[in-house]
Each structure stands twice: as structure tokens, then as C-alpha cells.
Structure 1
Amino acid sequence: MSALLNFFRSEHSQVAFTDVRIESRAEDILRVLGQRDLDVTAETRERIEPCRDLDVLGVWLDRAVTASRTEELFVDG
């Protein structure tokens, strides 16, 4: 049991969990945009999918809920 706990506390597993959270957040943004019938262009995907900053992805997810156009996700301010 302690070996399993040590694995989950390891730097390797923390990086893996962060990667999963990042990929999931990006997928969530694209899903919300799609469900709202907003235009998800290749450029939009190319900007969202490689982003590795959870804070930025969180802002984009919040904006995806209310945006009237996908470009509004990326507006500063």
C-alpha cells in the first residue's frame, strides 16, 4: 500500500496528473464551444490544444460559456 501511495506522491505521477488535467480542460473548452454551436476553426484548435497553462485554460473555459464568438476567448482583459 505504501508503495502505491509513494507512486501517487512522486513527481512523475504529479506531472502525469497535470497533463491529464490540461488535456481535459482543453477538451472541455472545445466541447462547450461545440455544444453552443460556435465556430471551432483549425486556428482555434491550434491555439487551445497546445496551451499548457491551466490558469489560461480556466479563463478560456469560463469565457466559452458566455462568448458569442470563439474569438472572445482570446481577448485580453
Structure 2
Amino acid sequence: MNLQFISDSTGKTTGVYIPIKEWNELKSKFKGIEQEGINIPDWHINLVRKRNEDYKSNPDNSISFDLAIDDIERDL
């Protein structure tokens, strides 16, 4: 996918540009992707926030995505 990231004057990423051809492919693959106001349950939002706080307070207790996948694959 050929994404282009949009940054503000401080260098902070503020958006992303997806070429229309690739956007149309995503729309056909993921029905409802254009839907605005997707409702995420409060319990899910709270869980993600809690996990984020846990990580920020002790990042040494986490492992990389690749290591997590390796662990999962070993258990299969």
C-alpha cells in the first residue's frame, strides 16, 4: 500500500493519504469502512486505556509484537 503521511509544522503526523484506487479496494474488502461514528463499547475503550497506562508505567514488562507472535506460534 502506498500511503503518504501528512505532518504539521512540528513534524507530528496528523493524517494519512491513501490513493483512491487503494481506498476503493479497501472499501470492497471491508464493508462499512466508510461508516462514521463507529461505536466502540465503553468497556473496550477502558480496557485499551488501562493497558496503555500499564505499559507507560512499566514498559519493561512488555515484549515486542514479533516475540509475542513467536510465543503464540510455539504453543500451536
Normalised to the residue count of structure 2, the TM-score between the two structures is 0.29
The structure with the larger Rg is: 2
Normalised to the residue count of structure 1, the TM-score between the two structures is 0.28
Query: More helix by proportion, 1 or 2?
Result: 1
Bigger relative CO (Cα 8 Å, ≥ 6 apart): 1
